[in-house]
């Protein structure tokens, strides 16, 4: 007797974890005991990474040390930089990141060591290196030399520095840091599940992260921030929102990118924080148009019975698109920024998986035919 199929594994619990609690009914998110609101208000990305890897907040000396070690480890091997320079300049940055992280394993003396100590070292190293790959690729594809990370900067500051080659702008670095804090971890999302499935076979951390990046890339997951921005750009002006909504959503078969979530049936708490930050940033930049389009579209959807009945609210990708666009990042760099942050959560889950591992291997209901007779190839 076969079990009923749970399409998309909806509602299936596959692990116990300390990393985060996602409460979809009430719209709450907690990283290892701390609400996302508290962390967004007070924590830096490095503090959050320490929390996820160590299940407690760092003291001052531990935090300073982690900031320095990440900056030190963020330098890329020469061989990898040479590879990056050989990729086609029009390659998708997520494809570049996926390939580069896979290649990084071959330059990492810890890559095949799955001990907890080695995995902690690799978590720190990969967190630094992924940011450097993202910034280096953006420079290389624009015909510029990649920049080596500075040892005196946080990861968010280093990202802006390595993109621009100038002392990092305070506003842009703070916006990136907020983004990194908010996106670092999120329960058993699709990319985290992929990393855990990969390492549960006894494979290594780099392989797990490559699975995570490949899974994050899709428009139903981390690719949605770029898709949301393309949608806002397509709408073009706040006064076009209603016509666009009617034509594409009500009468067409498109989805509003950055709206809807498998778990949240209330407002994603990260979207609430990002809405405020994006609005403040838009005001201070002197260009509120994109925020106004996003806000008007979200309000239009929230007043529509289709969205109300299905409990569809803006998710984390919706207003983060406005935040990242306002600090002048290229739209196709938005998903890599998601990976720059989520690597903290992925690596925490990998460490957790190895601490109590069992092969992850679900089942399926066979619906194919039975008992067919073999026909030799020339008689088919």
Q: Which is nearer to ligand ACO, 256 or 339 (CB)?
A: 256
Q: Are 195 and 76 in contact (CB under 8 A)?
A: no
Q: Which is nearer to ligand ACO, 208 or 223 (CB)?
A: 223
Closest distance between ligand ACO and the C-beta of residue 198, in Å?
19
Instruction: Given the residues 204, 206, 317, 349, select the one marked as catalytic.
Output: 317
Tokens at residue 162, please? 């390595």
Closest distance between ligand ACO and the C-beta of residue 199, in Å?
21
Q: How many CA atoms lie within 13 A of 122 on its CB side?
A: 28
Tokens at residue 272, please? 């609430």
Q: Which is nearer to ligand ACO, 170 or 220 (CB)?
A: 220
Rounded distance, CA 168 to CA 174, Å?
10
Q: Which is nearer to ligand ACO, 338 or 354 (CB)?
A: 338
Q: Are 238 and 293 in contact (CB under 8 A)?
A: yes
Q: Which is nearer to ligand ACO, 108 or 227 (CB)?
A: 227
How many distinct helices (H) and strands (E) make up the chain?
17, 3
User: String of b and e for 267-279 (b: at least 16 CB within 10 Å)?
Assistant: bbbbbbbbbebbb
Q: Which is nearer to ligand ACO, 214 or 222 (CB)?
A: 222
Beta-strand ranges (E) seen in the chain are: 20-23, 28-31, 34-35
186 counts as catalytic: no
Q: Are 320 and 225 in contact (CB under 8 A)?
A: yes
What distance, in Å, lies between the first and last C-alpha atoms of the chain?
34
Q: What is the largest CA-CA distance in the chain?
A: 76
Nearest CA to 266 among 22, 85, 27, 70?
27
Instruction: Given the residues 186, 261, 268, 349, select the one marked as catalytic.
Output: 261
Closest distance between ligand ACO and the C-beta of residue 288, in Å?
23
Tokens at residue 149, please? 């990370």
Closest distance between ligand ACO and the C-beta of residue 338, in Å?
7
Rounded distance, CA 227 to CA 318, Å?
9
What are the backbone angles phi and psi of residue 314, rounded to the nearest 5°?
Answer: -60, 140
The binding site for ligand ACO (CB under 6 A) comprises 8, 220-222, 224, 255-262, 310, 312, 315-317
Rg (CA), the chain: 22
Q: Which is nearer to ligand ACO, 150 or 311 (CB)?
A: 311
Q: Which is nearer to ligand ACO, 103 or 257 (CB)?
A: 257
Closest distance between ligand ACO and the C-beta of residue 344, in Å?
15
What are the backbone angles phi and psi of residue 22, rounded to the nearest 5°?
Answer: -115, 110
Rounded distance, CA 235 to CA 225, Å?
16
Closest residue to ligand ACO in the complex (CB): 260
Closest distance between ligand ACO and the C-beta of residue 18, in Å?
21
Residues belonging to the chain: 380
Closest distance between ligand ACO and the C-beta of residue 312, in Å?
5
221 counts as catalytic: no
Q: Are 135 and 329 in contact (CB under 8 A)?
A: no
Closest distance between ligand ACO and the C-beta of residue 7, in Å?
8
Q: Are 30 and 18 in contact (CB under 8 A)?
A: no
Return the active site residues.
261, 317
């Amino acid at each position: 007797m076969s079990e009923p199929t749970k399409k998309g594994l909806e509602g299936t619990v596959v692990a116990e974890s300390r990393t985060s609690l996602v409460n979809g009914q009430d719209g709450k998110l907690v990283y290892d005991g701390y609400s996302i609101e508290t962390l967004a208000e007070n924590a830096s990305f490095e503090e959050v990474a320490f929390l996820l890897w160590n299940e407690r907040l760092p003291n001052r000396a531990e935090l300073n040390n982690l900031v320095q070690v990440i900056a030190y480890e963020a330098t890329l091997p020469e061989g990898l930089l040479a590879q990056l320079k050989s990729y086609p300049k029009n390659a998708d940055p997520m494809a570049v990141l996926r390939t580069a992280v896979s290649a990084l394993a071959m330059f990492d003396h810890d890559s095949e060591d799955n001990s907890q100590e080695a995995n902690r070292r690799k978590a720190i190293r990969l967190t630094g290196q992924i940011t450097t790959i993202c910034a280096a690729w953006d420079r290389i594809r624009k015909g510029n030399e990649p920049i080596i990370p500075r040892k005196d900067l946080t990861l968010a500051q280093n990202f802006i520095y390595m993109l621009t080659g100038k002392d990092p702008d305070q506003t842009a670095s703070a916006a990136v840091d907020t983004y990194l804090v908010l996106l670092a971890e999120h329960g058993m999302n699709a990319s985290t599940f992929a990393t855990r499935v990969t390492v549960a076979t006894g494979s290594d951390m780099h392989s797990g992260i490559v699975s995570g990046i490949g899974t994050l890339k899709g428009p139903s997951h981390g690719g949605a921030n770029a898709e949301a921005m393309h949608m806002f750009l397509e709408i073009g002006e706040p006064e076009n929102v209603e016509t666009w909504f009617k034509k594409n959503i009500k009468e067409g078969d498109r989805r509003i990118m950055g709206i809807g979530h498998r778990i949240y049936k209330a407002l994603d708490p990260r979207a609430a924080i990002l809405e405020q930050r994006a609005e403040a940033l838009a005001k201070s930049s002197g260009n509120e148009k994109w925020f106004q389009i996003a806000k008007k579209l979200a309000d239009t959807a929230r007043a529509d019975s289709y969205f109300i009945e299905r409990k569809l609210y803006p998710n984390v990708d919706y207003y983060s698109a406005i935040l990242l666009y306002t600090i002048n990042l290229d739209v196709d760099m938005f998903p890599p920024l998601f990976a720059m942050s989520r690597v903290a959560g992925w690596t925490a889950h990998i460490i957790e998986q190895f601490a109590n591992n069992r092969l992850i291997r679900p089942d399926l209901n066979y619906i194919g035919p039975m008992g067919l007779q073999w026909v030799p190839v020339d008689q088919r």
